[in-house]
Amino acid sequence: MNRHLGRHRPIPATATDSESPRPYALLAEITYRCPLHCPYCSNPVAAGPLSAESKPRPLRRGRRTATANNGELTTEEWKRVIREAAALGVLQIGFSGGEPLARRDLAELIRAAREAKLYTNLITSGIGLDDDRVRALRDAGLDSIQLSFQSDESSLADEIAGARAHERKLDVAAKIRAAGIPLSLNFVIHRRNIDRLPQMIDLAEALGAERVELANVQFYGWAFRNRAALLPTREQVDRARDIATAAKARLAGKIDIFYVLPDYYETRPKPCLNGWGQRYLTVNPIGDVLPCPTASSAIPDLRFENVRSTRSRLDLARIGKLQPIPWNGMDAGAVPELSAKRNRFRWLPLSGCVADRQRREHRSGMRVLAQSRTRGRGIARNKFMQPTARLDIS
Amino acid sequence: MLLYPEGIVELNETAHEILSRCDGRTLGEIVCELAEEYEADRAAIAADVHETLADLQQRKLIEFT
């Protein structure tokens, strides 16, 4: 998985900033287990701090956890989370991971979500999806499947995935279509495959996908570790944007193409999920309730509610607490920043250089974190205001 | 509201009035009904209906049959 924190299309502004958080989507990361080992995986890097070996190392890859069900929420616990999320006003659920198919109770969870009147989407590599399983998921009420591809052809795709997966994915796509489930494709775009965008779009068309997400890699988890190998050049990014724009126009009404902007070539950080915990919730495999999918790994010092904790119930007050301080520009007047002490957060008043509009749009503090960390020293407040604040590895 | 993978569209009143009538009725029938109900010019209503539905269709949120 490489979750895209700024991916979501704008929500029409029916809600004002002063309203309580009103999440409409739950991302249920039901397991971290996965048969693939993509170097851009956004799952938490289980290992401790980066070791300081000087010799070059191959790409580090996302990996499955050592113990199969280590700490994962049970079926009943997930069903309770689903019901509580629906009661909260959540309207749709994305089953993700890891590879959600690794859980044998997936169909049961989908059924529970449909019973709670949620729109259900499966975000998957497709590995492990045979005819019987596709039908079982459909019969449970699954509304949509988003299938990941690493490239348009098998040699590069399998190399990226660290597994012989591409041909199986093609087969799975056909099975999904045959079962009558709407199909979306997701490509995570990075330096190695970005020049093959036209072929990827062709593949989506050939497979009968209704939607394609061309998602520039976002640098969290394993992707952050592998950033030096994954970051495309500015020229590649410009070209890709033009290709995606042209394809979107050409295929309008046939395939909905969504191009996820790259992280490091914007003049400012992207709005993060339309505001932490405001519109989207994530529950990770062990039950932490997160305001964004990578909050727990990207910001080690923050603590989160867990659905297993006593009197646990998803409710608005708790979700409000997911934000370490009010951070919606109305009453906060502060943004998170790294203090000079490594990995320690403190909250500083906004300076005049950050426009009100940015505050309202909830610019991500996490981007600031990543850049400050990269530079390995104090606050780099102005860095993220500069054009092309690309990530330089020293 | 329209839900699709990882997204949502909140319809405004106009779009809602149009879409809630998309149950097998033809475009002409929908335009007629809306023109009557809102006592509005048929041509203007027809333009709104076409624009709204075309926009949703381009985004693969509806299909014409």
Q: How confident is the model at residue A387 (pLDDT cuts 50, 70, 90)?
A: very low
Site from A3, A8, A119 to mutate, B interface, most B CB atoms within 10 angstroms: A119
Chain B residues with CB under 8 Å of A8 CB are: 6-7
pLDDT tens-digit profile of A88-108? 889 999 999 889 999 999 999
pLDDT at B27 over 80: yes
Cβ separation of B5 and A144 shorter than 8 Å? yes
Chain B interface includes A184 (CB < 8 A)? yes
Whole-number pLDDT of residue B42:
92
Band (A301; pLDDT cuts 50, 70, 90)? low
Q: Is the pLDDT of residue A388 over 60?
A: no
Interface confidence, given as ipTM, is: 0.83
DSSP conformation letters of B5-26:
TTEEE---HHHHHHHTTTTT--
A6 neighbourhood in chain B, CB within 8 Å = none
Answer whether A332's CB lies under 8 Å from A323's CB.
no
B59 touches chain A (CB under 8 A): yes
- Interface check B9 vs A, CB under 8 A: yes
CA distance A135 to chain B (A): 19
Q: Are A299 and A345 in contact, with CB atoms under 8 Å apart?
A: yes
Mean of the per-residue pLDDT values for chain A? 72
Residue A165: other Cβ atoms inside 10 A = 23
From CA A163, how far away is CA B31, in angstroms rounded?
A: 55
Are A210 and B60 a contacting pair at CB < 8 A? yes
- The pLDDT, as a whole number, for residue A149 is 97
Nearest residue in chain B measured CA to CA from A119: B3
pLDDT tens sequence across A27-72: 999 998 888 888 888 777 753 322 233 233 445 555 444 444 678 9
pLDDT in tens, B41-58: 999 999 999 999 999 999
Model confidence at A112, in pLDDT bands (50, 70, 90)?
very high
Rounded average pLDDT over A278-293: 82
Q: How many CB atoms lie within 10 A of CB A334?
A: 17
pLDDT score, position A308: 81
Query: Which residues 354-373 in chain A show a CB within 8 A of chain B?
Result: none
Q: Is B10 on the interface with A (CB under 8 A)?
A: yes
Average pLDDT over residues A366-373: 30
Closest residue in chain A to residue B64, using alpha carbons only = A253
pLDDT over 90 at A197, yes or no: yes
- Structure confidence at residue A47 (pLDDT): 30
